[in-house]
Structure 1
């Protein structure tokens, strides 16, 4: 579920500047277009960083002794 939501948000963020540029259609809307593009780029990076943090926390939940290395009883064939 989080992956589908993330991909949907990323797709919407990349499409938003082009939609705004099309809707404005003024002689020089490029400043707003690039500002919107930069803001969306920062938002995409924030989503990726948040999802990376989520994955690291999920992976660390399997580290039983908290040493950061999977060894001994933490490794089982499944």
Structure 2
């Protein structure tokens, strides 16, 4: 997992995913292999974190720790989630 900071949130990504962050626009795009879009995160005008997942990904949100984990669905096994 690689970790990115995004406007006070800690974002953990699978190793095959990477983030493109635009602090001025308050947006973060998560990309995968072959420039495959995985998710877009942004803060709206009311400072509410918005998240739009695409493709097959699993997103875990720990609001108390302000941490989001994004993993590809393919990287998970059923045993891990049970």
TM normalised by structure 1 equals: 0.25
| Larger strand share, 1 or 2 | 2
| Larger helix share, 1 or 2 | 1
TM normalised by structure 2 equals: 0.24
> Which structure's CA Rg is the greater one?
1
